[in-house]
Structure 1
Amino acid sequence: MREGKQHRWWWALALWLPLSGIAAERNFQVLHYQTMLDLDIAAGEIQGEQVVRFRAGDAPLQQLELDSGALQIAAVRQGEAPLDFTQGEGKLRITLPAPLAPGETSSVALRYHGKPPFGLEFAPARNEAYTVFSTSQWMPSLDAPDARATLDLALRLPGTVQATAVGEVMPSRLLDDGRIERRWRLRTPMPGYVYGFAAGPYRHVQQRHGSIDLHFYSVDRTDAELAQVFAATGDMLDFFAARAGLAYNGDYHQALVARTIGQEMAGLSLLSEAYGKELLDDPGRQGLLAHEAAHQWWGNRVTCAGWEHFWLNEGMANFMTAAWLQHAQGEAAYQQMVARWEARIGTLRESGADRALVYPDWNRPSADDRAVVYQKGAYVLHRLRGELGEAVFWQGLRAYTQANDGRSVVTRDFQQAMEAAAGRSLQPFFDTWVYGTGGQI
C-alpha cells in the first residue's frame, strides 16, 4: 500500500483495523476458504457462496466468529443442517451444533449477498471491479494479519470480462447462462487481507522473466504501453529476491485499474491507470511499482502478527523501495527519499505527533500515525543500515526474512535477527528509534 495521498481507502482501513491482542483470543484456525462470487458490476452488488474449513484450538469450540463487514448472511449450514448465527458490528457468529474437540477440524457453508461500501470497488463505466484491502467486505473471513489460510476463488462473469486473482489459474467453467466461472487456487496459506482480484475487459500481456511469468492488465493501455509501464518489474523481483535471500515463487500479475493508491496481494498488485500514464511520461517514477513488488516478501510472506507492528510491513516496503531506486537510479535517488523521510519526521516532531513505531493502539490511524509507520519506519531502517554497515545490515535482513518466511512476526523478531548479525545488543538503538521517540535527525 502506498504512502501519501488521502483516499477513502484510509477511511475504510480505519473502520475495520482491529485492536491489538484480538488475534490471540481466537480458539480456532481457519485452514481454507472456498469462495464463489457472482458479480453484478453495473449494480455494484455481489452474491456469494462459501465453505470455511477450520480447526479448533486448545479448548472445545462452540462458536465460530468471522469478520463479515456489511455483508448480509442468508444462511449457514453444516452438511444439510442449518446452523444458528448472528451478525453485528461487522462480525458473523456461528453456533456449532456441538462443541468441537480441541484440534478437531470441521467446516460450514455460507450463502450471502451485499453491496460493499468499500473493499470491493466497482467502475461500471469501465465494466470493472477490483478489491482493495478489506477482504471481509466481499467474503466472510478473518481480518487479523496473523490468520493464514489457503483459498479457492471463483468469479462468475460475462465472457467479455477478463480477470486476474491471487493463486494459480485453474480451468474455467462455462455456465448455462453463457457466463464463465473463472477460478484460481492459492495453495500457500496467506493472510486474508492479501486475497483479491481484478475483473474487467482487460488487454493482457504476458512475458517470461527467468522462471517467472509476468502478466500485465489494463483497459486503457496498448500492448506496447503495458510492456513499457512494467518494463522494470523483472529486475525488481530479482533485486528483492537477492536482498531477501528468497526466490520469488509463482507468477506475478500487475493490473492498472480505475483508481487506487496501490494495493499488494499474493502474487498480484493493483495500480491506477493514472499511475500507468505517469510511468509512460516518466519511466523513472518507479517508486510505487517497487513498493508493491517489495510487499511480495515483506508484508505477504513475512507479515506483522498484529497491526501494532505494521511498520514491519510498510516501513520495510518503503525502505526497500528506496533501496531499489538506489540500485537502479543511483545514490541521489536514495538520498532524495531519505530527505523526504527526514522532513516528514521533522513535521511530526514539531506538531507533537511523533510516536514510537510499535503502536499499542493502532486501530484508528490518523495521517500522522501512518506517516510514522511508513516514513519514519523506513527512516529507522536507513539509520540502522548506517549503524551496522552494508554487509551486516543486509546479512541480518536476509536472515530475518528467511527465518520468518510464511510466518507472522513482531518487532522483537526483527531485532533479534539484526542483533545476531551484528554480534551485539542493539537495545539502545531500538529503545531510541523503535520503542521511543528519541534520536537526532
Structure 2
Amino acid sequence: MLLTPRVKASRPKTLRIATALLAAATSATLLAASEPSPATPLGIGDRLFPHLGNPGYDVTAYDIAFTYHGDKKKPLDAVTVIDARATAPLQRVNLDFAHGKVGSVAVNGAPARFEATGEDLVVTPARPLSRGAYLRITVRHTSDPRPTKDKDGGWVPTADGLAMANQADAGHRVFPSNDHPSDKARFTFRITTPKGLTSVANGLPVATAHTGSTTTRAFRTRHPMATELAQVSIGSSTVVHRSGPHGLPVRDVVPTKDRKAVERWLKKTPDQIGWMEGKVGRYPFETYGVLMAQARTGFALETQTLSLFESDLFKRPEYPEWYVESIMVHELAHQWFGDSVSPKSWSDLWLNEGHATWYEALYAEEKAKKPLQKRMREAYKQSDNWRAAGGPPAAPKGPEPGQKISIFRPVVYDGSALVLYALRQEIGQEGFDRLERAFVRTYRDGNATTADFVRLASATAGRDLSGFFDAWLYGAKTPSMPGHPDWRKAAPVRK
C-alpha cells in the first residue's frame, strides 16, 4: 500500500478456524462426548491485530462465487468454499467474517451449526475433527459493499461498480476466511454480473459463461495468495492486453471512457517489469497489470497480479511523470516483496513497504535523476521523529482506534527504506544485490519474518549482522549512518 497525496506532488509518504482445543489430551470418543465451551472469537495473537487469523487449521484453497445484481449499494449473494487441513483436534472452526449475513454452513457436505460472535463466524461440525483431517467448509452468505462506520477497507464503491481493498484487516468483510497473511492459499473466483459489465479478479481467466441476462467469469491464481491481496473489480471497464518480458501476459483494467487517454501509462508497465527483473530476478507470478478504479481511496494497493490505483492519479497535471511512474513501480515491487514473499506477522510490514519504497526511489534515481542519497539523507533527518510517532521499523505501534490502516506510517516507508540504505552501506552494493535476489528466491510463494531476513543477510555478508539490525530495526533512536558521519537528525517534535 502506498498512501497518495491529494493536491500537490510531494514525495510519497508513501484468518480463527478458531478452535476450542480441549484443555487436556483426550480420545476422539471423549471429544465427541464433551460439552463444548461457549463460542468465542479467537485469533492467532498477532501483535498488531491480535484477533485476526485463527489457530487449528491451514487453508489450502478458496473458491468464492459472487453474484452482483447491478446495484453497488445492495449486498452481493455469495458462496465461499474453503479447503483446509486441521492442524489440531477441533470441536469448532472459527472463521473471520463480518459485514454479511450467513444463510447456511456445511462441513464436508454435512450441515453444521454456526453463530456469529465479534468478527468471527464460529462453525460447529456434526462431528469433531481430528488433527490432520481434511475439511471443506461451504458458507452461503451475502457480501455487503456498503461502508462501515470506520470505512476501513473491504469493498470499495467506484463510479461504475466495485473493487476491493482488503489491507490490512478487511478481507473478512468481504468473504469468510482465515484472514491473516501467514495462511496463504490458492484462489478461484466466479463472478456473475449483468451483461454489459466487466468483471476481473486475481490470476488468469479460466472460463466465461453467458446465461440469460447475466455473464459469469471465472479466474484462478497459480500461486498462493494472502487474503488481504484479493482483488475483484466489477464495472464498465475495458481489459487491455499486451506482452511483458518472456511473453508474460500483461492485463490492464481501465474505465472504458479513459482507454485511449491512459495508454501512455499502460505501455510503461512491460519496461518497468523488466527493470525490476534486472534488480531482483524473474517476475514471480503468472500475469500482471494495472487496475484503474474510479474511486477515492487515498492510496494505491498491491493486490496480487493486479495492482489497484485511483484513476485520477494518471490524470492530474500537477503530478510529474516521474512521480506517477515511481508509484507504479512501488506497487510492482510489492509483487516480489509482500505478495510473493508475504510477512509472517504484521510487525514484519517493514519488509514489504521498505523494499517497495526502496525500489520506487531507486527507479526515480535511475530514470529521472532524483538522487537516492538526497532522499535518504532527508529520511535520516526525520527518522527519530518518525520512530517516536510510529515506533521503530520492525516493532511498529498498533493502529489508532477505528483506523486500521494507520499502521502505514512514514516509518514503514522511507524510515524502512533507510534501513536498507544503511545495510547497503554496511555490506556493499554487491552483497546487498545478492541478498535481495536470495531473499525473494528463498521465500517465494511463502512467508518471511524479520529474523529470516537478518539470518540471510548475515549469511550473505559472511558475518553476524544481528547487532546492526537490532539497532536499526528496534532502536528508539536511529543509529549513525555508515559512511555518512556528517548526517544529522532534526530536533524532536514536541507534542
- Contact 2:341–2:440 under 8 Å retained in 1: yes
1:284 aligns with 2:322: yes
In structure 2, relative to structure 1, the CA distance for the partners of 1:366 and 1:119 (3 Å cut) is closer
The Cα shift of 1:247 comes to: 3.4
- Give the match for residue 92 of structure 2: 63
Partners in 2 of 1:24 and 1:66 — Cα distance?
A: 8
Q: Which residue of 2 aligns with 1:130?
A: 163
Distance 1:243 1:384, change over 3 A: same
Decide whether aligned partners of structure 1 residues 417 and 62 sit closer, same or farther in structure 2, where only a CA change above 3 A counts: same
Are 2:244 and 2:273, in contact at CA under 8 Å, matched by a contact in 1? no
**RMSD (Å), alpha carbons:** 2.5
> In the aligned structure 2, how far is the partner of 1:221 from the partner of 1:314?
33
CA shift for structure 1 position 360 = 7.0
Q: Given that residues 353 and 368 in structure 1 are in contact (C-alpha distance below 8 angstroms), is that contact kept between their aligned partners in structure 2?
A: no
1:67-91 superposed Cα distances (whole Å, 9 cap, x missing partner): 1122221111235532111112111
Letter aligned with residue 50 of structure 1: T
2:75 to 45, 50, 56: 45
Alignment of 1:117-196 (within 5 A): 117=147, 118-123=153-158, 126-133=159-166, 134-176=170-212, 178-196=213-231
2:245 corresponds to 1:245: no
The percent identity for this pair of structures is: 23
Q: Which residue of structure 1 lines up, in the alignment, with residue 429 of structure 2?
A: 390
Say if 2:361 is the partner of 1:327.
no
- Equivalenced residue count is 425
CA distance in 1, matches of 2:105, 2:394: 38
- Aligned partners of 2:378, 2:463: CA distance in 1, in Å? 31
For the Cα contact (< 8 Å) 1:32–1:151, is it kept in 2?
Answer: yes
Q: CA deviation at 1:119?
A: 0.8
Residue 338 in structure 1 maps to residue 381 in structure 2: no
- Larger fraction in strand: 1
Runs (4 or more) in structure 1 with deviation over 4 Å come to 21-25, 363-369
Q: Which runs of 5+ in 1 are unaligned?
A: 7-15
Would you say the 8 A contact 1:84–1:94 is kept in 2? yes
Match of 1:433 among 463, 472, 476: 472
1:187 counterpart letter in structure 2 = R
- Match for residue 268 of structure 1? 306
Task: Give the drift of 1:246.
Answer: 3.2
How far 1:44 sits from its partner (Å)?
3.9
Task: Identify unmatched segments of 5+ residues in structure 2.
Answer: 7-42, 148-152, 481-488, 490-495
Cα distance in 1 for residues equivalent to 2:84 and 2:310: 36
User: Who is 2:493 aligned against?
Assistant: none
Name the residue aligned to 1:371: 410
The structure 1 residue matched to 2:240, chosen from 199, 202, 205, is: 205
Three-state SS of the structure 2 residue aligned to 1:225 is: coil
Q: Which region of structure 1 is more displaced relative to structure 2, 256-265 or 363-372?
A: 363-372
The structure number with the bigger radius of gyration is 2
> Structure 2: how far apart are the matches of 1:24 and 1:71?
18
Q: Supply the distance in 1 between the matched residues of 2:61 and 2:283 (Cα, whole angstroms).
A: 25
Separation (CA, whole Å) in 2 of partners of 1:368 and 1:148: 21
Structure 1 residues 120, 344: CA separation in 2 closer, same or farther (over 3 Å shift)? farther
Structure 2 vs 1, CA of residues 102 and 23 (structure 1 numbering), >3 Å: closer, same or farther? farther
Give the aligned partner of residue 9 of structure 1: none
Residue matched to 2:419? 380
Work out whether residues 108 and 135 of structure 2, in 8 Å CA contact, stay in contact via their aligned partners in 1. no
Give the partner amino acid of 1:108.
I
TM-score by length of 2: 0.80
CA distance in 2, matches of 1:184, 1:109: 19
Residue number in structure 1 paired with 2:106:
77
Deviation by residue 1:141-165 (Cα, 9 ceiling, x = unmatched): 1221111111110111122111221
